[in-house]
C-alpha cells in the first residue's frame, strides 16, 4: 500500500508516530547539553551536529503530524507531560560522559534498525523522512562505535563503559516496548512490524560490542506503552517550556 495522505492518519498511528518524534526531540535536546563541555572540541562539534540531526528528524515528524502551515511547537512543546510518548532512555540526563556515550550508542543503534521499518510505509512523507534519517543515523552509529571502540582499549574507560551498560541496559530494552497505537500503525501500513521484533538484532549488537549480557536478568521498565514519564522528564520539560510560558501570546 502506498500514497496514504498524511492528513488522514488514524488516532493510533498519530500516537505511534509521536513516539519517534518525541524520542528524536528529547535525544536531540540531551545531545545539545554537551556542546562546549564534551571531553574535547571535536566531540563538542560532533555531538552538536548529531543533536542537530535528531532535532531535524523530530521537526519533520512534528510537521507531518501538525499539517501544513501549522506551528509545530503546539505539538512539540504544547502537550502535557502525560501526552508525551518518549522512551525513558532519552529522558535521562546522563551527566556522566560514559553514560552519555553508551546512551548515544544504544539509541543510534536502535534508530538504525527502527527507521528501516518505514522504508515501505503507506505514507509517502514518512518514507522520505526515513530515507534521510537512515543516511544520517549511519554516521551517528559510526561516531558512537568509533568512540566506544577506542575507549575500550583502556582498562579504566572499559570499566566505566561496562558500568554504564549495566546502568542503562534495562532502559535500552524498554526502547522496543510496544507503544500505544502500534497495532493501528501496523494495520494502516504505516510501519511494517512491531518494534519488539527489532530487539533480538539490537541485543546481538550490544553483545558483540560490549560482551554477552545476561538478558534474562535485565529489569523490566514500566513505561506502560510509553504513556508514563520517568522522574528525569519533569525538569527537562520545565526547561524546554520556560520561555514559552512567560508569555503565551508571544512569537519568538
Partner 1 sequence: MRSWDSVEAFETFLDGGGIVEVDDRMPDVFRDAVFAFIEMHANSELMGGLTERDWIPRSPGVKNKMAILAKTQDEVGHAHLLYMVAADLGIKTRTEMMEDLFAGKSKFHNVFHYQAVTWADQVAIAYLVDSAALMSQQAVFKNCSYGPYKRMLKRIIAEEGFHMRFGEERLLKIAEGTEIQRDMFQGALDRWWLPALQLFGPDTRDGDVLLRWHIKSERNEVLRDRWVQKYVPLLTSYGFVIPDDHLRHDEATGRWEIGEIDWAPLKAALANAGPDSARRIGNASKNWHDTAWVRAALDEAAA
Q: Which residues bind partner 1 (CB under 8 A)?
A: 25, 28-29, 32-33, 35-45, 48-49, 51-52, 55-56, 58-59, 62, 72-73, 76-77, 97, 150-151, 153-154, 156-157, 160, 236, 239-240, 242-244, 246-247, 249-252
d(CA 174, CA 182): 15
Q: Given the complex with partner 1, which of 21 and 186 has the nearer CB atom?
A: 21
Q: Contact, 106 vs 172, CB < 8 A?
A: yes
Q: Given the complex with partner 1, which of 65 and 198 has the nearer CB atom?
A: 65
Nearest to residue 2, comparing CAs of 161, 122, 106?
122
Q: Given the complex with partner 1, which of 154 and 197 has the nearer CB atom?
A: 154
- Tell the smallest beta-carbon distance from residue 51 to partner 1 (Å): 6
Nearest to residue 151, comparing CAs of 160, 142, 164?
160
Rounded to the nearest 10 degrees, the angle between the axes of helix 97-114 and helix 124-151 is: 140
- Tell the smallest beta-carbon distance from residue 31 to partner 1 (Å): 9
Q: Given the complex with partner 1, which of 7 and 251 has the nearer CB atom?
A: 251
Nearest to residue 168, comparing CAs of 228, 99, 98?
99
- Tell the smallest beta-carbon distance from residue 147 to partner 1 (Å): 9
Q: Given the complex with partner 1, which of 156 and 231 has the nearer CB atom?
A: 156
- Tell the smallest beta-carbon distance from residue 3 to partner 1 (Å): 28
- Tell the smallest beta-carbon distance from residue 154 to partner 1 (Å): 4
Q: Reduced to 3 states, what is the DSSP secondary structure of residue 123?
A: strand
* Integer CA distances (angstroms), 55 to 14, 27, 32, 52, 181, in order: 19, 8, 10, 5, 23
Amino acid at each position: 500500500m502506498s500514497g496514504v495522505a498524511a492528513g488522514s492518519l488514524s488516532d493510533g498511528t498519530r500516537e505511534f508516530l509521536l513516539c519517534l518524534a518525541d524520542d528524536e526531540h528529547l535525544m536531540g535536546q540531551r545531545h545539545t547539553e554537551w556542546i562546549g563541555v564534551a571531553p574535547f572540541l571535536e566531540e563538542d562539534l560532533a555531538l552538536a551536529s548529531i543533536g542537530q540531526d535528531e532535532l531535524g528528524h523530530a521537526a519533520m515528524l512534528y510537521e507531518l503530524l501538525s499539517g501544513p502551515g501549522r506551528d509545530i511547537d503546539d505539538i512539540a512543546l504544547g502537550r502535557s507531560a502525560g501526552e508525551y510518548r518518549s522512551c525513558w532512555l532519552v529522558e535521562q540526563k546522563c551527566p556522566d560522559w560514559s553514560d552519555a556515550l553508551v546512551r548515544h550508542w544504544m539509541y543510534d543503534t536502535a534508530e538504525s534498525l527502527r527507521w528501516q521499518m518505514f522504508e515501505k510505509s503507506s505514507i509517502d512523507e514518512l518514507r522520505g523522512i526515513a530515507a534521510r534519517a537512515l543516511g544520517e543515523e549511519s554516521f551517528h552509529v559510526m561516531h558512537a562505535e568509533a568512540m566506544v571502540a577506542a575507549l575500550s582499549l583502556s582498562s579504566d574507560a572499559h570499566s566505566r563503559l561496562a558500568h554504564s551498560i549495566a546502568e542503562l541496559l534495562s532502559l535500552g530494552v524498554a526502547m522496543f516496548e510496544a507503544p500505544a497505537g502500534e497495532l493501528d500503525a501496523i494495520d494502516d501500513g504505516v510501519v511494517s512490524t512491531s518494534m519488539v521484533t527489532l530487539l533480538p538484532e539490537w541485543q546481538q549488537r550490544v553483545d558483540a560490542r560490549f560482551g554477552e549480557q545476561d538478558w534474562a536478568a535485565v529489569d523490566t521498565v514500566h513505561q506502560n506503552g510509553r504513556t508514563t514519564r520517568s522522574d528525569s522528564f519533569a525538569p527537562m520539560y520545565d526547561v524546554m517550556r520556560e520561555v514559552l510560558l512567560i508569555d503565551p501570546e508571544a512569537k519568538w
